[in-house]
Amino acid sequence: MSMTYITKKHDYAATLDEKEPSEDQKSASVKSLLVRTTKLTTVTIKLYRLMVFVRLTIFVLFFKWRVSTALTVISDGTTTVRAMWTMSIAGELWFALMWVLDQLPKMQPVRRTVYVTALEEPRLPTMDVFVTTTDPEKEPPLVTVNTILSILAADYPPDKLTCYVSDDGGALLTREAVAHAACFARLWVPFCRKHGVEPRNPEAYFCPGVKARVVSRADYMGRSWPELARDRRRVRREYEELRLRIDALHAGDVRPQQWSRGTAENHAGVVEVLVGPPGSTPELGVSDLLDLSSVDVRVSAVVYMCREKRHGRVHHRKAGAMNALLRTSAVLSNAPFILNLDCDHYVNNSQALRAGVCLMLDRGGSNVAFVQFPQRFDGVDPADRYANHNRVFFDCTELGLDGLQGPIYVGTGCMFRRAALYNADPPLWRPHGGDRDAGKDVATEADKFGISTPFLGSVRAALGLNRSEQWNTTTKPPRSFDGAAVGEATALVSCGYEDRTVWGRDIGWIYGTVTEDVATGFCMHRRGWRSAYCATAPDAFRGTAPINLTDRLHQVLRWAAGSLEIFFSRNNALLAGARLHPLQRLAYLNTTVYPFTSIFLLLYCLLPAIPLVTRSASAFSVTMPPSGTYMGFVAALMLTLAMVAVLEVRWSGITLGEWWRNEQFWMVSATSAYAAAVVQVALKVSAGKEIAFKLTSKQRASSPGGGVKERFAELYAVRWTVLMVPTAVVLAVNVMSMAAAVQEGRWRKGPAAVLAMAFDAWVVVHLHPFALGLMGRWSKTLSPLLLLVVGFTVLSLCFVLHLHML
């Protein structure tokens, strides 16, 4: 998706679709100018839809012929023949169904243009930003610190922004690092405001090893260009000292004492205001390092939270921490909008918060529950070997869903409407005239929200703000950070507060799955809410992604297992009511059943092992009849698949390389992580065995002197895991099958043997990134494809010599 938007002083977008509105236009109709939505009706998208329907027609004709042929063969065949034909048709039907579920929701993509300048600053609503972290060993404190600093330096009124940090491990190290960040923010935030620097993450701005933007005089957005170089040197020196202090905390006396309140799974709850809320009027500052006489030095409030954990209690992982943040923020700031960021996702575009608010406050925005930003990453290898950028999902699937009921919530970089998290119905589905009274009735039910009177009062206020007139969200709610409010917030994060309530079922983030994000977004869509997709230029947020094969497979395993958990829960898309758009239902169904593909794919990929074991190639004839009709259908299906892929790449704006990387890693995942997820969920459903949660390790911030080899060292590290076994077996079987076919000259035995060899090659080429991962550092100089070509050349020479000797 290509979203463009106009900023205060500088055009950040790569291209502008619209001219900046005049002052008269702004005052005449502000709402209509916040966001302009245009359906994509280009020739490319029309051809794309046509080719999708053409391929669907071919599918229908193919399966009609395929089933009739199978019935004829099965009636006179053996038990083995019946089993092979049944498996083959079942697999083909499943693959066709998954393709249909993937393509149909993409048929109505839209393009949005956001006008940030049309939203005047007094109309900006208050906002709470949630940052979550758990383990300082896997999520380095310096990464969390940079995320917090980027939030505090965002272009948003400091008195309307509050940053909440959830330390779910209760580590003193994390608390001290956040406190140091709050102190450094008093220098960093005014520096960013004075010079308009981008990005406002110190690590990304200062360190040459990380992608940063070079500022020229023409692009400068600040107030004093001659002072930039001097101020930059001074602030960078202070940041280097901050890095050293945090490294000392990590390696020094604080680390052994990091569980000062207990252990990671057994500690008391803490809520601490590290930076109090600023006043509503700008404050000019005085500093020994910088000239801040004309700069607003206010810093937004920062609150540290550690929820209580006790042995024997179920804490619901990240979803439980998010719900604790939701209650804590309700009694302190109670902002109508909430931004959710992982500790490694920093604000890359200082205007991103304003852009998200525009989508919430636009005409019809009162029915928008959340705004999802695409996930972009730093530190990914240039070739993106394991498809970490996931462009096909973010720039194709999410873009297509934006034209229906909205994109799927995917964990981080998402802005929420607080009322939607409280199980309120959207204005579109409420009884006429009964908005506020219905909200008050819901809020008074202590058996749903808990027994805290202050919290119930905050819920009433939040639901009262969500009327049919959405501009009332700009009303600044009362904020209280005094001792009584902090004490109440501490009580709200106790591990027993949610007992006998519907938290995690109907309110807040949803429990019962390791992918609480998808389940939470689904519940909102099921109630009739919409969501919106917001892709800005530059990227709104950037984070880190696992570039090591083992870490990436464990990440995919968690996603796949969580999806299957949702399918076997009350949040199954098939059970949703009439408020869910039919194509949105198909998208959620696809999101929750895709791991089952591994069952059929593994069977198909392991078929070449049959002739290797039986020493007979005739086994393939039962599944691939060498008829002209079959060859014609295969050619038509492959041709239309290629055309759909090319057209999809054209209208979405991704590259063919990104699409191909996605296809390759889909094969790697489907033969490894998806299969393991099916086994895990089967054990959970049948025996009640809970799925183990493994936190994804975040990359440590690169040192200033780190080179390319150091940055991508994890890419070449080989860490064995059982997830690699099935994929390695599939790769070995298909390579040996190809070698045996060449050596025995099977290509002369008819179309079935040729198709078998083509399928072997298709599998091997798709598993090329996996082979590179297994080779480790050898992959820098030796390519698996090169080795394969050399091997085939040697076999061919041996075969030719054998013929001459006969």
Per residue in 395-425, pLDDT tens?
999 999 999 999 999 989 999 999 999 999 9
pLDDT in tens, 199-247: 999 999 987 554 445 566 666 777 677 788 899 999 999 999 999 999 9
pLDDT at 416: 97
pLDDT at 386: 94
Q: Which residue has the higher pLDDT, 222 or 650?
A: 650
pLDDT in tens, 89-104: 999 999 999 999 999 9
Average pLDDT over residues 309-330: 94
Whole-number Å distance between alpha carbons of 214 and 228? 13
Contacts for 629-634 with beta carbons within 8 Å, 24 or more apart? 629/65, 631/751, 633/58, 633/61, 633/62, 633/65, 633/66, 634/755
Per-residue HEC secondary structure of 177-212 comes to HHHHHHHHHHHHHHHHHHHCCCCCCHHHHHCCCCCC
DSSP state of 778: G
pLDDT at 779: 65
Residue 139 annotated as binding site: yes
Scanning the structure block, which residue is given the tokens 């525009």?
358
> Is 545 in contact with 384 (CB distance < 8 Å)?
no
Judged against a pLDDT cut of 80, whether residue 722 lies above it is answered with yes
Q: pLDDT category, 477, cuts 50, 70, 90?
A: low
Whole-number Å distance between alpha carbons of 601 and 582? 28
Residue 11 annotated as binding site: no
Whole-number Å distance between alpha carbons of 591 and 580? 15
pLDDT at 149: 97
CATH class of 118-194+244-281+294-428+444-536: alpha beta
pLDDT in tens, 308-317: 999 989 999 9
> Is 579 in contact with 527 (CB distance < 8 Å)?
yes
Judged against a pLDDT cut of 50, whether residue 119 lies above it is answered with yes
Residue 120 annotated as binding site: no
DSSP state of 251: H
Active-site residue, selected from the candidate residues 102, 167, 168, 384 = 168
Q: Who's near 130: CB < 8 A, 6+ residues apart?
A: 164, 166, 322, 325, 326, 329, 338, 339, 340, 341
Whole-number Å distance between alpha carbons of 647 and 46? 9
pLDDT at 798: 56
How deeply is 186 buried, as exposed, middle or buried, from its count of CB atoms within 10 A (0-12, 13-18, 19+)? Answer: middle
Q: Which residue has the higher pLDDT, 699 or 21?
A: 699
pLDDT in tens, 42-81: 888 999 999 999 999 999 999 999 899 888 887 777 787 7
> Is 33 in contact with 21 (CB distance < 8 Å)?
yes
Residue 476 annotated as binding site: no
Whole-number Å distance between alpha carbons of 204 and 317? 30
Residue 138 annotated as binding site: yes
Q: Are strands 110-115 and 4-6 parallel, antiparallel or unpaired?
A: parallel
pLDDT at 470: 40
pLDDT at 6: 36
pLDDT at 704: 43
Judged against a pLDDT cut of 80, whether residue 30 lies above it is answered with no
Average pLDDT over residues 460-470: 63
Judged against a pLDDT cut of 90, whether residue 643 lies above it is answered with yes
pLDDT at 337: 97
Judged against a pLDDT cut of 60, whether residue 577 lies above it is answered with yes
Give the Cα-Cα-Cα angle 729, 735, 741 (nearest 5 degrees): 130
What is Dmax (Cα atoms) for the chain? 96
Active-site residue, selected from the candidate residues 231, 435, 517, 539 = 517
pLDDT at 371: 97
DSSP state of 713: G
**517 catalytically annotated:** yes
Its pTM stands at: 0.89
pLDDT at 73: 80
Domain ranges of the chain: 43-106+571-805, 118-194+244-281+294-428+444-536
Least confident among 154-158, 352-356, 410-414, 472-476: 472-476
Whole-number Å distance between alpha carbons of 364 and 375? 25
Average pLDDT over residues 148-177: 95
Whole-number Å distance between alpha carbons of 411 and 503? 18
pLDDT at 465: 53
Q: Which residues pair with 115 in a beta bridge?
A: 6
pLDDT above 70 as % of the chain: 82
Average pLDDT over residues 485-497: 94
Judged against a pLDDT cut of 50, whether residue 623 lies above it is answered with no
> Is 741 in contact with 757 (CB distance < 8 Å)?
yes
pLDDT in tens, 606-621: 887 777 666 555 544 4
Mean pLDDT of the chain: 84
**717 vs 247, 390, 552, 710, 729, CA distance in Å?**
24, 22, 12, 12, 21
